Amino acid sequence: MSALLFAQIQFQSRKGNTCVAENGLCPDWITHNFDRYVGPFWQHVFLTVTSVAIGFVIAFLLALLAHRKRWLIPPLSATSQILYGIPSIALFLLLLPLTGRGNVTALIALVSYTLIFIFVNVSTGLDGVPPDAVDAARGMGLSERQLLWRVEVPLALPEILAGLRIAATTTVGLAALAFFAGAGGLGQEIYADIGFKSNVVVAGGLAVLLAVILDLLILGVQRLLTPWRRATS
């Protein structure tokens, strides 16, 4: 009975020195196993894009607020700096008892890391708007709101988008540790077999690729939105 039961399990012979057995960088293995990275890759994209988007909204609004109420700048930038100073793995673990395993915990931590870059760059960008431009706009009778959206924000765009680029690439790296919060991602694949070259190169390569793509995407947006700067940069 039992012989019949197991007859179907195929026992493979493992004598040869295959690429995988020698821990090489194996094109065959990579093509055959690539689909296992697809899910984690998109999860990584989800974690990165969602947290940068949420972080952008929060930090942008705070920076606008601080632009009007200057006394807010020191406490806000100090807070975001301290948040950024907490090691990511530690923050994931510190949040676990509060918010449980999964995306929510990962996103809270990741969002908190994006704040500093976006807040600082939006603030710097708004401060960097030439006083002449502001005066001219006021002279033309623009209201404060119009001044902000028609003059200050557009002129600060390069700086704002630069902050976004930093936030995006940094978040890709931090999301690689989100599996400590039970949120998967490419880091999980790396961690699962950290000594296997093919695995590390593919999963790690995808993470780097994602960082580069996001960086170039935002750079492209910057070029599109601020054509007047193309000559100087």
* Positions in 196-225 near another protein (CB under 8 A): 196-209, 211-212, 215
State which residue, 69 or 140, has the beta carbon closest to another protein: 69
State which residue, 154 or 204, has the beta carbon closest to another protein: 204
CB of residue 56 to another protein, shortest distance in Å: 16
State which residue, 142 or 226, has the beta carbon closest to another protein: 226
Size of interface with another protein, in residues (CB under 8 A): 90
Instruction: Check binding of 54 to another protein (CB under 8 A).
Output: no
Judge contact between 136 and 145, C-beta under 8 A.
Answer: no
Give DSSP secondary structure letters for 58-127.
HHHHHHHHHHHSGGGHHHHHHHHHHHHHS-HHHHHHHHHHHH-SSHHHHHHHHHHHHHHHHHHHHHHHHH
Question: How far is 162 from 16, CA to CA, in rounded Å?
Answer: 52
Residue from 64, 72, 93, 225 in contact with another protein (CB under 8 A): 93
CB of residue 89 to another protein, shortest distance in Å: 5
Residue from 97, 131, 139, 141 in contact with another protein (CB under 8 A): 97
Helices (H) and strands (E) in the chain, counts: 11, 0
Question: How far is 136 from 132, CA to CA, in rounded Å?
Answer: 6
Distances (CA, A) of 210 to 134, 159, 168, 169, 170: 38, 22, 10, 8, 11
Looking at residues 100 to 159 of the shown chain, list those that interact with another protein (rule: CB under 8 A). 100-101, 117, 120-121, 124, 127-128, 158-159
State which residue, 146 or 205, has the beta carbon closest to another protein: 205
State which residue, 7 or 224, has the beta carbon closest to another protein: 7
CB of residue 191 to another protein, shortest distance in Å: 7
CB of residue 39 to another protein, shortest distance in Å: 8
State which residue, 137 or 222, has the beta carbon closest to another protein: 222
Q: What is the per-residue burial (b if ≥16 Cβ within 10 Å, else e) of 11-21? A: eeeeeeeeeee
